[in-house]
Structure 1
Amino acid sequence: MNDAHLHMVVNHFPIIGTIFGLGILLAGIFMKQTVVKNVAYILFVVAAIFGAVSMATGEGAEEIAEKLPSVTDQIIHEHEEMAEKLALVLYALGVISLLGLYLNFKNHAKAAVVSYIALVVAIIGVFFGKQTGTTGGEVRHTEIRANATATTAVDSDGAEEGDDD
């Protein structure tokens, strides 16, 4: 397994984990259930750890991907910039989540405030996660790039596929 493969294996969890964590945290806040909030906090911590692993494997994946056809330095750079922003948000969210877990276990009065702070940071994380996932997908999926063009397949008669004429 090379760094590109490892990167592909681990890079989805920071995004998906943050999305699921956000939903679970919202449910915990709405239902006023500390246990549910704690589940979200644990997901956020795990997402931050996977984010660190994704960042660690990103350079090796870049070395491999930049040699592939249709992969430009600009596409990789955009993904790298977004990933760095996401990583910072996830690291902050992980620390906030550890604080939230601690305060929940101590039944501290400020635990509710931390859950709202985590909520705001998680929303920011989901935004950057979407951007990072899209720019990462654009590295190899040319069809989702902004400058993608639709081409019509033409058969040997010169008719477009699907024409019955």
Structure 2
Amino acid sequence: MMNSIWFHLLVNHIPIVGTAIGLGIVIVSLLRTNKTVRRVGLIVYIVTGLMAYPANFSGEAAEKVLKGAKGISADQIHVHEEAAQLALTLTSMTVILAMLHLFNMPPSQKLQRYVFSGIVLIGIASLFQLVVTGHEGGAIRRPNLIGPTPLHTVILRSTD
């Protein structure tokens, strides 16, 4: 029988892997200036980006199951949850921009280029944040992944 933890572990990898694949396809479309390849990349972004929602909702359910369990850090769950919220926001932005571009909104070529640039830049940020979120989630059950400080804290401090 599948519980909420197993379901969360099943669906949370789809946005990470799918965003990486979508970003790769979109970058290839830039190099080859191929509209069909670009559309495929945008569709991959949209489909896998929408999968971030079940991953997020199932995370809430998994948290309820894990709350108070032996060896589970509530602080680490919170760190993972905060990272997931930012990942969901960035992924949602990428999905919206991909939908706009896919359906030729806005119609002007100049604005389309800006939208596409936003897709690539926010897509990179989204992928980065999804990887951080996955790492922090893995540290809930595997505290050896945490190290002296959480990964996102080290990265954020290094940019100051």
Please tell me the residue identity of whatever aligns with 2:95. G
Partner of 1:89: 90
Distance in 2, matches of 1:35 and 1:113, equals 19
- Could you tell me the percent identity over the aligned residues? 26
Equivalent residue, structure 2, for 1:113? 114
Does the CA-based 8 Å contact 1:37-1:115 persist in structure 2? no
2-side partners of 1:36 and 1:70: how far apart?
A: 46
Alignment of structure 1 residues 128-139 onto 2, 5 Å: 128-139=129-140
Q: CA deviation digits over 1:17-42, x for unaligned, max 9?
A: 11111111111111111111111111
Aligned length: 147
Aligned equivalents of 2:112, 2:129: Cα separation in 1: 26
- The runs of at least 4 consecutive aligned structure 1 residues that moved more than 6 Å come to none
Superposed displacement of residue 108, structure 1 = 5.0
Which residue matches 1:50? 51
Q: Secondary structure at the match of 1:103?
A: coil
TM-score by length of 2: 0.85
Quote the Cα distance in structure 1 between the aligned partners of 2:114 and 2:29: 13
The two structures, once aligned, show a CA RMSD in angstroms of 1.9
| 1:77 CA drift (Å) | 0.1
1:64 equivalent in structure 2: 65
State the secondary structure of the residue aligned to 1:64. Answer: helix
Larger Rg: 1
Deviation at 1:84, TM superposition (A): 0.5
2:41 partner amino acid: A
Residue of structure 1 equivalent to 2:38 = 37
Is contact 1:79–1:136 with CA below 8 Å preserved after alignment?
yes
- The alpha-carbon deviation at position 82 of structure 1 amounts to 0.3
Q: CA deviation at 1:46?
A: 1.2
Q: Which residue of 2 aligns with 1:151?
A: none
What amino acid is aligned across from residue 68 of structure 1 in structure 2? A
TM-score where L is the length of structure 1: 0.82
Unaligned runs of 5+ in 1: 149-165
Contact kept, 8 Å, 1:47 with 1:90, in 2: the verdict is: no
Q: List gaps (5 residues or longer) in structure 2.
A: 150-160
Q: Is the helix fraction higher in 1 or 2?
A: 2
Deviation larger for 136-145 or 72-81 = 136-145
